[in-house]
Amino acid sequence: MSMFYSDPNAIRPYEPIPEGHKAGSVLERTLRAGEFAVTSELNPPDSADPEDVFAAAKPLAEVTDAINATDASGANCHMSSIGICSLLTRTGHGSVYQISCRDRNRIAIQGDVLGAAAMGVRNVLCLTGDDVGAGDQPGAKPVFDLDSVSLIRLIKTMRDEGRFLSGREIAKPPRLFIGAAENPCVDPVDYRADRLAKKVEAGADFIQTNYIFDIPRFERFMERVRDMGLDKRVFILAGVGPLASAKAARWMRSNVPGIHIPDSVIDRLAKAEKPGDEGRRICVELIQQVKDIAGVSGVHIMAYRREHLVADILREAGIARPQKQSA
């Protein structure tokens, strides 16, 4: 592990950012250079051991521009996103600090944003968050003091104007590449592009979408996005992932909020001799298809408990990954 875990004590000073960049993260550099970006989601450990984070990050580190650390996704408790992202800065790998509005109010969030930036985190993803009822502790108090859109504007204000929501000045503003989510294939499909416009207006620099399994629906969404000129103002990473089986897909569709999987995809998995391989093949095809859609700048791979497949999926999809220098 020593090769991966460089210097545990190295706290780097706040480095200047390249001209024309907001944060200078690897992800931002890749996108601004016009290269196809790849991000992927890390399965957060139920553990206090940093080695578990490094082990989970290992299959993703070499093939992605940044690793997303989920923030108690599905309202299930795991190691925090800010903890994981801070650990990943020690390995020199880019991370996306996911902030959900479900668990913390504006006071906690603004403090954590400064803390994350001080630790060297350079990308954030602003999310509303699944309801507490979806998770393992449904009796918890849902916070939702902010929503994803007001959160985006809040972080942009901290970054660009150097002040808190109270107006108080921040001595050294956090340099962050601000991300937001969109879910193009679920209702209200007609208004998803309008909602995206609102996030861009609030200050989003990049978008990671939820799972895309329905290409025609996604294409209609992207058509509206292009008509509104949004693809020129924000980088869009299409969300994909390998399904394990028809049963798993059906379970996800009915139990995880905001997942749309067409019957045709489930049929393909059900008929396959090896559903796992078929799920991987479908994912490869999806990447190849979204790559050709105008306005798509990259992919976001959510391979829950199948992270070891990500490198192969990318290779099979023909996505060449140049070695990135760490930042």
Partner 1 sequence: MYALRRFAVRRSRQFEWVYQRLESLLVSLDPLLSKLGYARLERPVAAVERVTKGLLFDCKMCGQCVLSSTGMSCPMNCPKQLRNGPCGGVRPGGFCEVKPDMRCVWVEAWDGASRMKHGDKIGVVLPPVDRRLEGSSAWLRASRERVQQLTEATEANRTALARTYPEARASAPTSAPLTEETRKEGAAR
Summarize as ranges the residues that interact with partner 1 (CB under 8 A). Answer: 101-102, 106, 128-131, 133-134, 142, 144-150, 153-154, 157, 163-168, 181-183, 186-188, 190-191, 194-195, 197-198, 201-202, 210, 257-258, 260
Greatest alpha-carbon pair distance for the chain in Å reads 61
Minimum distance, C-beta of residue 267 to partner 1, in the bound complex (Å): 18
What are the start-end ranges of the H helices in the chain? 26-32, 50-61, 81-91, 106-118, 148-160, 192-202, 215-227, 246-255, 263-271, 275-291, 310-316
Minimum distance, C-beta of residue 59 to partner 1, in the bound complex (Å): 26
Q: Of 30 and 81, which CB lies nearer to partner 1 in the complex structure?
A: 81
**Whether the bond into 188 is cis, omega within 30 of 0:** yes
Minimum distance, C-beta of residue 301 to partner 1, in the bound complex (Å): 18
Minimum distance, C-beta of residue 178 to partner 1, in the bound complex (Å): 13
Q: Quick one: 255 exposed, middle or buried, by C-beta within 10 A (0-12, 13-18, 19+)?
A: exposed
Q: Of 14 and 191, which CB lies nearer to partner 1 in the complex structure?
A: 191
State the DSSP code for 8.
T
Q: Of 46 and 263, which CB lies nearer to partner 1 in the complex structure?
A: 263
Minimum distance, C-beta of residue 198 to partner 1, in the bound complex (Å): 6
Q: Of 187 and 267, which CB lies nearer to partner 1 in the complex structure?
A: 187
Q: Of 40 and 208, which CB lies nearer to partner 1 in the complex structure?
A: 208
Exposure on the CB side of residue 234, measured as CA atoms within 13 A? 29
Minimum distance, C-beta of residue 75 to partner 1, in the bound complex (Å): 11
Minimum distance, C-beta of residue 249 to partner 1, in the bound complex (Å): 15
Q: Across-strand partners of 211? A: 239
Query: What tokens were used for 48?
Result: 């206090």
Query: What tokens were used for 120?
Result: 């060297």
SS3 1: coil
Q: Of 182 and 278, which CB lies nearer to partner 1 in the complex structure?
A: 182
Q: Of 150 and 245, which CB lies nearer to partner 1 in the complex structure?
A: 150
Phi, psi of 107 (to 5 degrees): -70, -50
Query: What tokens were used for 268?
Result: 């393909």
87: left (phi over 0), alpha (psi -120 to 50) or beta: alpha
Q: Of 29 and 153, which CB lies nearer to partner 1 in the complex structure?
A: 153
**DSSP state string for 196-209:** HHHHHHHT-SEEEE
The dihedral sign for the CA sequence 187, 190, 191, 196: positive
Minimum distance, C-beta of residue 57 to partner 1, in the bound complex (Å): 25
CA distance 148 to 4: 34
Minimum distance, C-beta of residue 210 to partner 1, in the bound complex (Å): 6
Q: Of 32 and 300, which CB lies nearer to partner 1 in the complex structure?
A: 300
